[in-house]
């Protein structure tokens, strides 16, 4: 019987000082959920950071936006619509989806060696790509109900709030944060396929309601 590995200890604030998004020059991050109910036109500027998840539902709609991009994936889901095949090739053209600077965030990484393989495969497809891995279980200050796991959008928002805390501690201007379509409500049909029942959306909505610094567009 093989021994189970010891749990990885929580990260510290200092661990995030070298994160590529900490040095991001954007003044505002706009996190867009894959919610088909969204109909309003989204105005994005050159100093925005557009954050999209998995296979972005609005990639084509927002393709012409003049801002930097961060694409976030559950990288372990290598054989489904989350975007990557067993050969580590994306299921869609990342270069075509990103008009500006591109950051790739993978979470969580459960397959040994997957992180390195994805970075190499994706970095070779487009110059200027930066990449990082987000483990919500190690993110300082991100509390979540026992036995459930945060949605990718909620975890990434936690990361961006943490990076803002670091900016303030070092005398830098914090990045404005905004969410679009973070309703926590499944839509019968297309979106329900992307709704993982292991998330606690009621908890996430309750937390979002307590964050005045996060604008809900």
Q: What is the pLDDT of residue 100?
A: 59
Give the Cα separation of 196 and 40 in Å (integer): 25
- pLDDT tens digits for the chain (217 residues)? 334 344 455 567 777 888 889 988 899 999 998 887 776 678 899 999 999 887 777 877 888 888 888 888 775 554 444 455 666 565 555 555 555 567 877 776 556 666 666 666 655 555 567 778 787 777 887 888 888 888 888 999 999 999 999 999 999 999 999 999 888 765 444 444 445 567 788 899 999 999 999 999 8
**Distance of alpha carbon 173 from alpha carbon 19, whole angstroms:** 16
Domain parsing of the chain, residue ranges: 24-212
Residue whose structure tokens are 């090739």: 89
* pLDDT (0 to 100) of residue 1: 39
Q: Which residues contact 143 (CB under 8 A, 6 or more apart)?
A: none
- Of 30, 23, 59, the closest CA to residue 44 belongs to 30
Q: Return the pLDDT at 178.
A: 96
Residue with tokens 């499944």: 186
Q: What is the 8-class DSSP label of residue 111?
A: S
Determine whether 30 is exposed, middle or buried from the number of CB atoms within 10 Å of its CB (0-12, 13-18, 19+).
Answer: buried
Phi, psi values for residue 48, rounded to 5°: -95, 160
Element holding 204 (H helix, E strand): helix 201-208
| Pairing relationship of beta strands 176-180 and 130-133 according to DSSP bridges | unpaired
Helices (H), 47-175: 94-97, 114-125, 152-169
CA distance 104 to 20: 10
Provide the pLDDT for residue 99: 54
């Amino acid at each position: 019987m093989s021994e189970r590995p010891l749990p990885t200890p929580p990260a510290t604030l200092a661990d995030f000082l070298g994160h590529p998004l900490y040095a991001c020059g954007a003044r505002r991050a706009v996190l867009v959920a894959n919610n088909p109910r969204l109909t309003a036109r989204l105005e994005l500027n050159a100093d925005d950071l557009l954050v999209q998840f998995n296979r972005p539902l609005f990639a084509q709609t927002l393709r012409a936006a003049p801002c930097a991009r961060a694409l976030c994936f559950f990288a372990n889901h290598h054989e489904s619509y989350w975007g990557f095949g067993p050969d580590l090739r994306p299921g869609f053209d990342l270069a075509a989806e990103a008009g500006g600077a591109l950051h790739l965030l993978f979470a969580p990484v459960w397959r040994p060696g997957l992180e390195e393989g994805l970075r190499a495969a994706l970095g070779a497809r487009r110059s200027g790509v930066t990449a990082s891995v987000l483990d919500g279980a190690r993110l300082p200050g991100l509390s979540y109900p026992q036995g459930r796991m945060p949605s990718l959008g909620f975890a990434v928002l936690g990361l961006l709030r943490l990076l803002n805390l670091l900016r303030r501690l070092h005398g830098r201007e914090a990045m404005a944060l905004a969410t679009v379509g973070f309703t926590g409500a499944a839509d019968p049909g297309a979106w329900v396929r992307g709704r993982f029942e292991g998330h606690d959306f009621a908890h996430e909505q309750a937390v979002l309601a307590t964050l005045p610094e996060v604008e809900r567009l």
